[in-house]
Structure 1
Amino acid sequence: MARSESDPGENQTISGGFILVGFSYLHKLQILLFLVLLVTYLVILLGNLLIILLIKLNPSLHTPMYFFLVNLSFLEMCYTTSVFPQLLVHLLVEEKSISLVGCMAQMFIIHIMGLTESCQLAAMAYDRYVAICHPLHYTTMMSSQVCAWLMGASWLISISVEVAQTTWLFSLPFCGSHCIHHFFCDVPPLLKLACSDTSKNEIMLLTVSVLFIMGPFLLILLSYILIISTILRLPSVEGRRKAFSTCSSHLMVVTFFYGTALFTYLEPKSSSSLENDLMISLIKTIVISLSNPIIYTLRNKEVKRALRKILEKSLFSHNWRN
């Protein structure tokens, strides 16, 4: 069936599925974007896998902070895997379709990862708060049972919310061309394709954003207000520097995560620059996914020390065998 190059599938429908228009407007440049994103995807996977292995192989890193970091790296790997492989395939093929079930699954996974990461960042902020403000009670307040409960609660809340939201969204009737002007299935572009009133869904989306994204953000903000207040009361400059350095990496990850999220909601949408909006969305996805491995490998002294020990041990073992 013939289609225009500028908007593939605009006048056709896919039975039981959608067309992800994505970066079709780039034409031959899609191959170049494919190569760039393939390298980026591999770096994200290998970077987060390296963090997980370093923490698992080094007993000195078996602390609550790094327990949450392992889960955070796992979330980033799942998030990128739910987006990038399909995007890479769509950059190489002309038919950029996705089934209804595939669209539901993709949106379900992406939003679970996002909500869980938001909750995990709040749990990490609480860990830093206890370590700095209540150091004498740290082992009891952040026991392995407490850490497991915090992680389990994050997953349970996220899954419960997304089951309700996904079920409600996909109970709507979709009509028109079934073209999604995005490179993955997300709530806002899907709501635009609904034939019925979506006001309740929009209210639900706003409620979820306020409660489960801004809620953890406010907890993080409160934790750091208390942390900074405690640090400023420390008698020595060196003590203040060391205390702040223990939470600087987490603070940077939080800044990237919520900074890009706020930019998404606050940036002005230009009706004539849909392509620019898509590229900005892709860049934000890459920035969030790369921030975790880059920050925790390049700025975290304990992780760098653990990496150095493994490399030295591997080099020594290789020389000894030779």
Structure 2
Amino acid sequence: MRVLQLIDSLEAGGAERMAVNYANGLANRIAFSALAVTRKQGILKEQLDKAVLYTFLERKRTIDFKAVSRLKRFVKDNSIDIIHAHGTSYFIAAMLKIAYPKIKIVWHDHHGGRSTQKGYKNAVLKMASRFFDTVMVVNQELKAWAERNLAVAKVTYLPNFAVRDKVEEKQTTLKGTDGKRIVCLSNLRYPKNHALLLEAFRDSGLHKKEWSLHLIGKDSQDDYSSFLKRFISDNRLDDSIFIYGSCSDISNVLEQGTIGVLASVFEGFPVTLLEYGMAGLAVVSTNVGYCGEIIQNEKTGLSFTPSDVEMLTAQLKRMTDDEQLRKSVSEALKTTIRESYSEEIVMNALILQYQNILNAKQK
């Protein structure tokens, strides 16, 4: 079995982290594991295992025949059986299928609500789905949508999993007081709902009790970022809310936290929640997408509706005030991850799906 993971970039993000996790996880389980990046290299390249063969396609436009040619050559030179395309990389995978029909294509939908929106992009996806052998999804909502809308016979749910990052050097030191740090691991962009989190943190008054909030994720220096920084400044929270940008030493960062928070307006299956749990953080999470399955309110964390700032404020205050609650939910979350979302469990399920694809008759 020879498999190539395909992703548009290696900047820090959920789909990108999963592409790397799959490539690494398969490296010692199948004959050949590789990863190809179509458009932009990034910080996650450091996380790739040395056993994973890597290539960069230098795709510069939507329809880029040179990039398709590079991909075809890489696939043929390495006798690849399956391309596992993550997120928006499905388009170049479909183009390859036209040029090289024997290749098997898996499309993996990580992106929650974005995939179910109407418009031009979904029309392209529906057309491209004719070339998919299987669609993999990260929650049941996406599974139902794919079964209704895409021209593919096989749609499979596969949970995400998390691993400790491979960068051993501790590069990032969080500010604030030990034992009183709240960490938010999300790129600075709209769906991640940082504005609500900042408002709730201010309203909670936690900064007056030495608690601090730490935003970890890509900062595009755009209007969204400027709004957040202006909010921090206008509310005199510069000594309590800190923005770090992308960090390669995520395990080290999370080890310095006490509470992990996710406030997104929509999610598919956030790897972030698994990373929080593996690091032993107590979690306060949005209840959208698959989040409610991982963070069961009162059991493995506290949840809230992402439009309700008062609810988030109350949950933050409750979690910070109750050390015993933090201990019980973090231990329960660790157990849940170990029993349901471990690398071993997910890799075995993935390989079984690959075997089914290869055993199926050629389209």
TM-score normalised by structure 2 residue count: 0.23
Q: Compare CA radii of gyration and give the structure with the larger one.
A: 1
TM-score normalised by structure 1 residue count: 0.25
- Which structure's relative contact order is higher, taking Cα pairs within 8 Å and 6+ residues apart? 1
Q: Which one has the bigger helix percentage?
A: 1
